[in-house]
Amino acid sequence: MSALTAYARLFRLAGPAYVVVAFLGRLPMAMAQLGTLLLVSVTTGRYALGGLAAGALAVANAVGAPVAGSLADRFGQRPVVLVQSLAGAVSLTALTLLAEGRAAPALVVTAAAVTGLALPQVGPLARVRWRPITAGTGPDQRRLVDAAFSYEGAVDEASFALGPALVGVVAVALSPAGALLSGAALLAVFGTAFALHPTARRTGTGPHARPTGRLVTGAFVVLLLAQTAVGTLFGSIQTGTTALATLTGQAGLAGLIHAVLGVGSAVAGIGTAFLPARFRQERRVLAAAAAMVALSWPLLLVGTLPALTATVAVLGFAIAPYMIGVFTLGERVVPPGRTGAAMTALASATGIGYALGSSLAGRLADASGHTAAFGVTVGATVVALLLAVTQQRRLAAAVRAVQPVAEGAPASTAPAAPVLAP
């Protein structure tokens, strides 16, 4: 089955409404971190406080997301995502009002943390739905699931390109506060729609959807550390970009510049489905990590917004293949019924990395400027490469140990039907 055929079949199985809702439902998360960083930095004039608030949001989301993922594994995604979507919309609105009202820093940071706890991880939970969506496709299922993860990686990157771009556009046209309020509105509408979509009924049900077996293994810890590294990359790049854009008097362009990172990444993500199956996932992670190191160091030389834009555009082509490989391995090294917890835990690791990256880069930017902030980015890519180089055998062995069990689970022999079919 070719990659194009796999993509077409996936979209037929899920239905067009699901594709739209699952994409728009993840935009608020992509907007929240940069929106918080920009709003708090502008209203207080302190990058460190902006980075602290954005980091608090990310850490709180990282703490809450695996809990929500485990609940979704047990009870299904519909009730969990519905509650989170509505609570997240309210929390984003409250955070905006507090920041605009010049509330005490501790109160603003606390509100950011509460917001992080409430925000749903639509992207990771969307990944969980693809295996039940493709159930009944027989020997084609593994190829379809691989294509689905490539698609999800590309869509995640597209959302993290469009999300910051929306923050930048609304911040320039209206205000940073308007950007966060826009995210709240999107979450209330499309987060709810994602929760109520018929595909949600296929999660948290059936004998192989119940939580069984160990989630935390040596291989999974490696993947968590790998995602922490790429989260650090994201947080430090956003902070360094904001610092340079503000220095040049164009703070509102920070989101638009950071969006360029996601554009190249999304294109590369779609392309990973065309790679041959013999190019194993752990090898893909290694190749992508090496590319991130090679493409990140020019950030230490940039001093203008055009140069920064060009540099992050090229760097983006290495990021999605890296993350797709990590998430695909995450789905393969955990027992059946643990995928919701696994996917949200990996997303949480990204959030923790973002918090580390934005906080450390914020302090360095305050002290020494944007170049110091980008030094954190380069360091994160080196960590990612060291992990990939040293853990190849462990990851390959973990896949071999779990996959025969997962693939030996009984599946329906009936032809797969579109989820939206009556």
pLDDT tens for 149-190 read: 888 888 887 787 788 778 878 887 888 888 899 999 999 999
Q: Which CATH number fits domain 3-407: 1.20.1250.20, 3.40.720.10, 3.40.50.2300, 3.40.50.800?
A: 1.20.1250.20
| pTM, full prediction | 0.75
Is pLDDT of 237 > 50?
A: yes
Q: Which amino acid is at 281?
A: Q
pLDDT in the model for residue 403: 60
Is 69 in a helix, a strand, or coil?
A: helix
pLDDT in the model for residue 410: 36
pLDDT tens, residue by residue, 405-420: 444 443 333 333 333 3
Is pLDDT of 2 > 80?
A: no
Identify the band that residue 211 occupies on the pLDDT scale cut at 50, 70 and 90.
low
If you write DSSP's letter for every residue of 245-265 in order, what string do you get?
Answer: HHHTT-GGGHHHHHHHHHHHH
Q: How far apart are the C-alpha atoms of 74 and 132, rounded to whole Å?
A: 15
Among positive and negative, which fits the CA dihedral 40, 307, 258, 168? positive
pLDDT in the model for residue 279: 81
pLDDT in the model for residue 127: 87
